Amino acid sequence: MMRVLFVTGNQNKVAEAYGILSPLGFYVEQLFIDGKAPDLVEPQAEEIEEIAKYKLEQAVSLTMGTEFENEAVLVEDSGLFIDSLSGFPGPYSSFVKETIGLSGILSLMSGETDRGAEFKAVAAVYFKDKIMTCTGICRGFVSENISGDSGFGYDPIFIPEEANGRTCAQLSPEEKSSISHRGFALKGVSELLIPPSK
């Protein structure tokens, strides 16, 4: 099994990536340096693609010259893009979650009938001098209420189109990953790492 080192501070992402990539023949492990998950700087940028590339550069430079330098290094950046808010919070999703939180988003949307939104993830991998990136999108709606207690982040207020009205926080990890932005982005990069045999 090929090992993929995931550079992230979010253990929920690691657990999901492990579930998505293990059946495809990859062993996902969170990268720790000196016992700590390295803190990557997230630039203020309009596009999560740009943020993911910047995070990957930092992640790769952290592994250069270490025992990890010949291994595949993965980063990922994601965000929730709400149609009626012109794509907000998008690249600012982390900050918004920490400040106004889920209830703040629901208040911003109070009385709004257009609840359309999408989750987007950009996964970027460096392996053998090559950079591979893939974007995954999950279309859905922002719920009226906070529901469910599995998952993380915005899961309790996001209803994927395929989820029959349930929020991501009401899905099993397998159900979420089979339709999620992260599921699509990681399956995409896995095919670039090892093209499927015909």
CB atoms within 10 A of CB 70: 8
- Could you say which residues in the range 71-110 bind ligand ITT, by CB under 6 A? 76-79, 93-94, 97
Distance (Å, rounded) from C-alpha 29 to C-alpha 193?
Answer: 16
* Residue 188 makes contact with ligand ITT by CB under 6 A: no
Distance (Å, rounded) from C-alpha 27 to C-alpha 162?
Answer: 28
Distance (Å, rounded) from C-alpha 122 to C-alpha 163?
Answer: 22
* Residue 53 makes contact with ligand ITT by CB under 6 A: no
| Known catalytic membership, residue 149 | no
CA dist list (Å): 66 to 31, 105, 185: 12, 42, 27
Catalytic residue among 77, 83, 129, 155: 77
102 is written with which tokens? Answer: 């889920």
Shortest Cβ 52–ligand ITT spacing (Å) = 8
Judged by CB under 6 A, the residue of 151, 160, 183, 188 near ligand ITT is 151
* Residue 133 makes contact with ligand ITT by CB under 6 A: no
Distance (Å, rounded) from C-alpha 145 to C-alpha 126?
Answer: 39
Shortest Cβ 114–ligand ITT spacing (Å) = 21
The footprint of ligand ITT (CB under 6 A) covers 8-10, 13, 76-79, 93-94, 97, 151-155, 168, 180, 182
Active site members = 77
